[in-house]
Amino acid sequence: MSVAAEVEQFVVQQLMTGSTITSIDHDEDLLGAGVVDSHGLMQLVSFLRERYEIAVPDEALTPENFQTIAAIDAFVQRERG
């Protein structure tokens, strides 16, 4: 499974509990939709650390890096080098 697909699965299953949505467009604005709120961001950061062994430093916690699934995917690819 690709990084984008795994992140999408995590977002749908963990950050959108109670919702009937089963998939998200990878360009959907997660911040605007309130999916990645402060609590969601912390869960997402833990997921990236555990799944891809990526430590997310303060300076990387920008809306640009977490706005969409595509942006998170690009961030992971960059950090993995």
Partner 1 sequence: MKRAIPLYPSVYAVRRRFREEGARAAARHVIARTQAQLIERNCHIVVVTDLHEIAVPVRRGELRVESLERRHLPLLHELNQERHDLTGDMRFAGDLDKRYGGFVAFKDDELVGFYWWTDASMDPHHELRNVALGVELGPGDAYGTDFYVAERHRGGGRASDFLYQIETALRERGFERLWGTVEVNNRAARWTYATRGYADQWTVAGRRLLRRWSYRTEQIDERAGVYR
Contact set with partner 1 (CB under 8 A): 31-35, 37-42, 45, 57-59, 61-63
Please identify, using beta-carbon distances, which residue of 5 and 46 lies nearer to partner 1: 46
Please identify, using beta-carbon distances, which residue of 7 and 44 lies nearer to partner 1: 44
Please identify, using beta-carbon distances, which residue of 5 and 69 lies nearer to partner 1: 69
Query: What does the block give as tokens for 79?
Result: 């950090």
- State the nearest-atom distance from the C-beta of 12 to partner 1, in Å: 15
Evaluated on CA atoms 7, 8, 13, 18, the torsion sign reads positive
- State the nearest-atom distance from the C-beta of 1 to partner 1, in Å: 25
Are the C-beta atoms of residues 26 and 70 closer than 8 Å to each other? yes
Of 44, 50, 5, nearest to 23 by C-alpha is 5
23 Cβ neighbours under 8 A, 6+ residues apart: 8, 12
- State the nearest-atom distance from the C-beta of 48 to partner 1, in Å: 13
